[in-house]
Structure 1
Amino acid sequence: MTFNLEDKDLHISHLEQEIETLRSQLDDANNIIDAIRDGSVDALVVQKEGKAEIYSIESADYTYRILIEKFGEGALSISDDGLILYCNDYFSQLIGIPASKITGSYFTEYVNSHRDYVRLKNSLNDGPVKGEFTLKGNDRNIPVYISLTDLHPTVPAIGVVVTDLSEKKGHELALVKHQHELEDKIHELNASNTSLEQFIHVISHDLKEPLRKILMYTARLNGSEENEDAVYHNIIKSSALRLNSLVDDLVKYAFIANKDEELKISLDEVLKEVIDDLEITIQEKAAIIESDSLPVIKGSKVQMRQLFSNLIINAIKYSRENGIPVIKIKYAHDIVTEGKIKYHKVSITDNGIGMEKAHISKIFTIFQRLHMRNEYSGNGIGLAICKKIMENHNGHITVESIIGSGSTFNLYFPVNDIN
């Protein structure tokens, strides 16, 4: 075969083009090899008959690969169009599909809402993005938190971190369930309290009405009985009066559990009103009451009046025989701190008979009496009411006492913003 000069030149030109193409392919191959060596590439995507095949490179950045495999969350790298180039074992176990089958599939196959995923991915232009999604596992829906990070231009891929929210969602559902159960219990308790209040009203009315008649008719018998009958009459009258007092105290104790609307209250005004109410009792005993300027608190004025009234009556009742009751009400202007809570401290000190140390723990218990009924009147409810009132106001009451020298009741009111 012979070639003319023109054919020879054309053949040389073709050979040069083929050489240039081979040189370009060689450069590409060298670049890929260099990328594999420096860890920039950990997988190759090869298109065969229109289908992408992924070839992982086990040696690429081995330390990084071990870290991701041990990662306590799902980790993937995907191409711009969502093709999964790599996933760790955690994600494979979460979905319930072998990693070999996940690699080469599209991430959107595992997302319940394709539209939400596209919206999230499109936000990558503004930086890493995060959002809650539901993934489709092998046999269940999985609530997850997804974080997408654009790895360009270092790596032509998108990094995906998947956090399983199943346990968190389970706790949230359990919390909601418990909250509903608690609300149901509160409704039941409110209904029970309403029924109890109605019951107390009925009992107090049904008991007090016959008592009122007993007292009214025994009063008409005064002076009309012979000596023995007079004794019986006095016993009946005394018992009826005591029962009447007991019913009143029980009603007070039952209703003091209700918290009124909290208002701004001047304890100075409360004390003045109580002293006015007890004017006759104070005069009969020639009692002396001294008081510092008291703080303003938030609470129920009705309950505050009952609190101070009970404590002052208590101090007068248990005064020393033939002695003048002296009651000193002091306010520690320095705020008292207990733990993280700050309190106003108001102390009510008397010079009465006092009490033994062993009895101090008993006095706030309902119906607890330290003396015989013929020594001191009362039903053993007054101090229990005081304790309940302080609890209603998120405070507390304590007592210090020396037998024969008197007692000090300390009232601790939480410091609130008074607007």
Structure 2
Amino acid sequence: MQGLDQSSDTTAPRVPREEALLRVLEELYGGFFEAEETLSAIRRGEVDAFVVSTSDGEKIYTLNTAEHPYRVLIEQMREGAALFSADGTILYSNASFARLLHMPLEKVMGESIHAFIAPAGTARFRRMMEADTFGSTGESTLQAQDDSRVPVHLSLKPLPMDGIQVFSLVATDLTERKQAEETLQRAHDELEDRVEERTAELAESNARLVAANEQLEFANRELQTLTEDLTRQSRNLKEAQTEANLYLDILTHDIGNTENVANLYADLLLGMLSGDAATYLGKLKRSIDKSIEILGTVSTIRRIHSGSPEIKAMDLDAVIRGELCHYPDAAIRYVGAPGLVLADDLLPEVFANLIVNAVKHGGPDVEITIRTEDADGFVRVSVEDTGPGVPDDQKEAIFHRYEQKKRGVGEGLGLYLVRILIDRYGGKVWVEDRVPGHPEQGAAFVFTLKKASAVHG
């Protein structure tokens, strides 16, 4: 029996051992589980395509429910996107739409879209829902959960889905654009205000300019009138000057000649008469001499005013010594040194008038001293006398024309000539007490002359 059993075992198939059977069973069960998971994923729409190996190589098969790329696109877009039913219930929302509403994404779905439309735009939003199948667009305002307002551009379109009426909504945030528009509008308003202000300022400036032009025209008319008056006055002045020169010519020439003749006959008669007649004739001759002196002074003043001075360097020492020769009988002492000063040919008139003034009013015993000394670019000259002096209240007045004080008639004209000549040379003239504080002990007429070396040196 055993032999037979053994011979029969050689022809029958071998039965796997228990461990091998368990291993095969696990492999079969694992493949079945993987296949079941794949089918479940396909049913759930989690698989868009799969790869199949064939004798021709691997092939890719896509499924009809392959909306994954579109879902990723919607989730990643910056615009808010949502689906809601005809009654307004939000069926789907992406993260961007939830951010517009300032809400967590999981709390948006299930809410009514109408709760997030600002009251002012509710009626318009309902009209958009009633539009045709092509949908509608327009601006609106979302009211977020925290009551903040978000300006948006809405694109609304009916979307039939498995027999259910739904609406797709795309919301673009217009906050930045609105802010930019507001900024632009403010800038535009500010620009308009500035233009208006500038226009007003320009109008005011134009008004002031018109007023200024009117004033200028008035001033021009006044100036023209004044110019005509000045021209007429200048013409009248020139005529008066011509007439005055005529009188001066008669005075200095014709009357001068007549007085010279009268003075000559007075000298002849003075030698022939005696007693009271000689005394009266002497007074007459002195009057004639005074008249001749005045005519000479007038002639000199006229010469000064008739033209520009020819200032030049002059030897002051020579001028003084030359003038002293005309008074040989007078007690005149000269203390000075050679030097050049700026003056003209009329400088001797200054010394002549001052010496004559001292001789006439100092009496027969008057003593005269002429001094010169340096004074910082100038030469200081003084003509001192021992006469009656000049009171303090007259020290300025005696240099004015026609002043008649204690020092005699006609004296003012000679001293006036001295002043205008010293002014002509750029110096100054004044009178002091010969002994300071004692005007009764004589006067000192002082003047300054510019050194020629101070200018030409």
Q: TM-score, normalised by structure 1?
A: 0.52
* CA deviation profile, 1:164-206 (whole Å, cap 9, x unmatched): 6665776677567656655654454344333312211112233
**How many Å separate the matches in 1 of 2:251 and 2:326?**
31
User: SS at the partner of 2:188?
Assistant: coil
**How many Å separate the matches in 1 of 2:356 and 2:420?**
17
1:279 maps onto 2:325 in alignment: yes
Deviation at 1:349, TM superposition (A): 4.3
Question: In the alignment, residue 302 of structure 1 is paired with which amino acid?
Answer: D
Say whether the 8 Å CA contact 1:218–1:237 is kept in structure 2.
yes
In structure 2, relative to structure 1, the CA distance for the partners of 1:253 and 1:409 (3 Å cut) is same
Deviation at 1:333, TM superposition (A): 0.8
Say whether the 8 Å CA contact 1:318–1:352 is kept in structure 2.
no
1:33 aligned residue (163, 182, 189): 182
Deviation at 1:36, TM superposition (A): 4.4
**How many Å separate the matches in 2 of 1:293 and 1:404?**
32
1:142 alignment counterpart: 210
Say whether the 8 Å CA contact 2:381–2:446 is kept in structure 1.
yes
Question: In the alignment, residue 357 of structure 1 is paired with which amino acid?
Answer: D
**How many Å separate the matches in 2 of 1:305 and 1:270?**
9
Deviation at 1:385, TM superposition (A): 1.2
2:386 alignment counterpart: 352
Deviation at 1:274, TM superposition (A): 4.1
1:244 alignment counterpart: 292
**How many Å separate the matches in 1 of 2:455 and 2:227?**
32
**How many Å separate the matches in 2 of 1:231 and 1:349?**
33
User: SS at the partner of 2:210?
Assistant: strand
In structure 2, relative to structure 1, the CA distance for the partners of 1:191 and 1:230 (3 Å cut) is same
Count of residues in correspondence between the two structures: 287
Question: In the alignment, residue 444 of structure 2 is paired with which amino acid?
Answer: T
In structure 2, relative to structure 1, the CA distance for the partners of 1:225 and 1:362 (3 Å cut) is same
* CA deviation profile, 1:249-289 (whole Å, cap 9, x unmatched): 33334444x064244433x52452243133131x4224122
Say whether the 8 Å CA contact 1:346–1:412 is kept in structure 2.
yes
User: SS at the partner of 1:325?
Assistant: strand
Question: In the alignment, residue 265 of structure 1 is paired with which amino acid?
Answer: K
**How many Å separate the matches in 2 of 1:248 and 1:296?**
25
1:307 aligned residue (334, 347, 350): 350
Deviation at 1:414, TM superposition (A): 8.5
1:408 maps onto 2:453 in alignment: no
Question: In the alignment, residue 217 of structure 1 is paired with which amino acid?
Answer: Y
In structure 2, relative to structure 1, the CA distance for the partners of 1:270 and 1:182 (3 Å cut) is farther
CA RMSD in angstroms comes to 4.6
**How many Å separate the matches in 2 of 1:28 and 1:169?**
58
- How does 1:298-377 map onto structure 2 within 5 Å? 301-319=344-362, 322=365, 324-333=367-376, 344=378, 346-353=380-387, 354-371=389-406
1:265 maps onto 2:312 in alignment: yes
Say whether the 8 Å CA contact 1:292–1:329 is kept in structure 2.
yes
1:385 aligned residue (417, 420, 427): 417
Deviation at 1:239, TM superposition (A): 3.0
**How many Å separate the matches in 2 of 1:357 and 1:167?**
53
Deviation at 1:301, TM superposition (A): 0.8
Question: In the alignment, residue 401 of structure 2 is paired with which amino acid?
Answer: I
**How many Å separate the matches in 2 of 1:234 and 1:260?**
39
**How many Å separate the matches in 2 of 1:290 and 1:260?**
34
* CA deviation profile, 1:355-395 (whole Å, cap 9, x unmatched): 2223324322334454476xxx9654211211233445565
**How many Å separate the matches in 1 of 2:446 and 2:274?**
51
**How many Å separate the matches in 2 of 1:36 and 1:319?**
101
1:69 alignment counterpart: none
Question: In the alignment, residue 203 of structure 1 is paired with which amino acid?
Answer: L
**How many Å separate the matches in 1 of 2:184 and 2:295?**
93
Deviation at 1:328, TM superposition (A): 1.3
User: SS at the partner of 1:87?
Assistant: helix
**How many Å separate the matches in 1 of 2:339 and 2:201?**
66
Deviation at 1:348, TM superposition (A): 1.3
Deviation at 1:43, TM superposition (A): 5.8
2:203 alignment counterpart: 92
1:212 alignment counterpart: 260
Q: Structure 1 runs of 4+ off > 6 angstroms?
A: 25-29, 413-417
Say whether the 8 Å CA contact 1:270–1:305 is kept in structure 2.
no
In structure 2, relative to structure 1, the CA distance for the partners of 1:259 and 1:90 (3 Å cut) is farther
**How many Å separate the matches in 2 of 1:93 and 1:326?**
76
User: SS at the partner of 1:399?
Assistant: strand
**Structure 1 regions of 5+ residues with no counterpart?**
1-10, 45-55, 58-75, 78-84, 97-136, 144-163, 335-343
Q: Which has the higher contact order (CA 8 A, sep 6+)?
A: 1
Q: Which has the larger radius of gyration?
A: 2
**Structure 2 regions of 5+ residues with no counterpart?**
1-132, 138-152, 154-171
The structure carrying a bigger helix percent of its residues is 2
**How many Å separate the matches in 2 of 1:35 and 1:415?**
81
**How many Å separate the matches in 2 of 1:201 and 1:31?**
96
In structure 2, relative to structure 1, the CA distance for the partners of 1:351 and 1:223 (3 Å cut) is closer
* CA deviation profile, 1:63-122 (whole Å, cap 9, x unmatched): xxxxxxxxxxxxx84xxxxxxx653434334556xxxxxxxxxxxxxxxxxxxxxxxxxx
**How many Å separate the matches in 1 of 2:427 and 2:181?**
75
**How many Å separate the matches in 2 of 1:326 and 1:391?**
23
